[in-house]
């Protein structure tokens, strides 16, 4: 789905990169962000994820590098739209899309900016263990017990429950790809995220000391960057949306990291 604007332009444009799992066009989280970006004067391309809606292939057996080629193809699609006057084209990775984004940027010269939203900055197996630990806590397990059982549940998913997926992503670590990113990059996290270890992810990215990368952690929000926390994935907090819009409209130059 391509969300265009009235007027002659030129306009900046962003390609949305999907998170994990099957993704539908009516996903409220994506559409809320897309609506707000469009209202700020940004063209948005929301492609069907591999193996979802009208897209062929299978995401379950695709590596993150494979999914990055889909993102690069989406950028190329925008470049071929002669009826659109575009000033620059970038990518916005949501959740697992944050791990796809730096791969795509490092392999393409046509991506002008990168926005990453609540994606893990740690190796995928570490992220899985963190998420399983919190899932068990939400089921009522005490912290010490949840730590132990998370190892077993993670192992089951890797070797049995989601074996095809984990064979495809292997021991993926996003950091080496982040080191290669040269485009202006904004990375947003929710401090209360129970899916992604936001503090460790932010620390790893900041440890790269790359001047083109800005990392911000929003207190009181979880994995959907919602406000208040636990209010569902259609409550994308307004200040985070404003940050993304500002970054895209001004090419990243106006965005600075808070203390």
DSSP annotation string for 41-82: T-EEE-PPPTTSTT--S-GGG--HHHHHHHHHHHHHHHHT-T
Quickly tell me which residue has 């949501």 as its tokens: 94
Is there a domain that residue 259 lies in?
no
Last residue of a domain, one of 150, 171, 192: 171
Mean pLDDT of 44-70: 85
Residue 231 has pLDDT above 70, yes or no: no
Q: Are residues 107 and 212 in the same domain?
A: yes
Residue 224 has pLDDT above 60, yes or no: yes
Q: What distance in Å separates the CA atoms of residue 225 and residue 219, rounded to the nearest whole number?
A: 9
Q: Are residues 135 and 197 in the same domain?
A: no
Is there a domain that residue 142 lies in?
yes
Is there a domain that residue 258 lies in?
no
Using pLDDT thresholds of 50, 70 and 90, give the confidence band for residue 41.
very high
Residue 234 has pLDDT above 90, yes or no: no
Is there a domain that residue 257 lies in?
no
Is there a domain that residue 256 lies in?
no
Residue 198 token pair: 């936001």
Mean pLDDT of 185-210: 93
Q: Are residues 154 and 76 in the same domain?
A: no
Q: Are residues 187 and 220 in the same domain?
A: yes
pTM above 0.95, yes or no: no
- Supply the CATH number for residue 7's domain: 3.40.50.1820
Residue 233 has pLDDT above 90, yes or no: no
Q: What pLDDT, in 10s, does the model give residues 72-94?
A: 999 999 999 988 899 999 999 99
Residue ranges of alpha helices (H) inside 27-186 are 28-39, 64-79, 97-106, 124-138, 143-156, 163-169, 175-180
Beta bridge partners of 13: 43, 89
Residue 215: give the domain boundaries: 2-122+173-249
Q: Which residues contact 190 (CB under 8 A, 6 or more apart)?
A: 118, 198, 217, 218, 221, 222, 223, 224, 225, 226, 229
Q: What pLDDT, in 10s, does the model give residues 171-186?
A: 789 999 999 999 999 9
Q: Are residues 32 and 110 in the same domain?
A: yes
Q: Are residues 92 and 195 in the same domain?
A: yes
Q: What are phi and psi of 13, to 5 degrees?
A: -135, 150
Which stretch of 16-25, 105-114, 199-208 has the lowest confidence by average pLDDT? 16-25
Mean pLDDT of 60-66: 85
Last residue of a domain, one of 171, 203, 233: 171
Question: How many domains does the chain contain in total?
Answer: 2
């Amino acid at each position: 789905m391509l969300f265009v604007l009235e007027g002659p332009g030129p306009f900046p444009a962003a390609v949305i990169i999907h998170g994990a799992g099957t993704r539908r066009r009516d996903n409220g989280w994506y559409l809320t962000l897309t609506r707000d970006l469009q209202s700020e004067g940004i063209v948005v391309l929301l492609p069907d994820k591999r193996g979802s809606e009208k897209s062929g292939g299978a995401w379950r057996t695709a590596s993150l590098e494979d999914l990055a080629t889909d993102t690069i193809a989406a950028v190329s699609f925008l470049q071929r739209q002669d009826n659109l006057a575009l000033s620059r084209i970038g990518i916005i990775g949501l959740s697992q899309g944050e791990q796809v984004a730096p791969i795509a940027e490092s392999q393409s010269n046509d991506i002008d900016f990168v926005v990453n939203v609540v994606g893990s900055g740690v190796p995928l197996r570490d992220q899985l263990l963190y998420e399983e630990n919190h899932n068990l806590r939400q089921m009522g397990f005490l912290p010490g017990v949840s730590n132990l059982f998370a190892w077993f549940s993670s192992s089951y998913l890797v070797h049995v429950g989601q074996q095809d997926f984990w064979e495809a992503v292997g021991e993926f670590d996003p950091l080496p790809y982040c080191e290669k990113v040269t485009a202006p990059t904004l990375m947003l996290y929710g401090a209360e995220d129970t899916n992604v270890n936001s503090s460790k992810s932010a620390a790893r990215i900041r440890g790269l000391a790359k001047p083109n990368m800005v990392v911000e952690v929003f207190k009181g929000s979880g994995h959907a960057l919602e406000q208040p926390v636990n209010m569902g994935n259609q409550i994308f907090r307004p200040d985070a949306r404003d940050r993304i819009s500002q970054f895209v409209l001004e090419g990243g130059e106006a965005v600075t990291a808070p203390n």
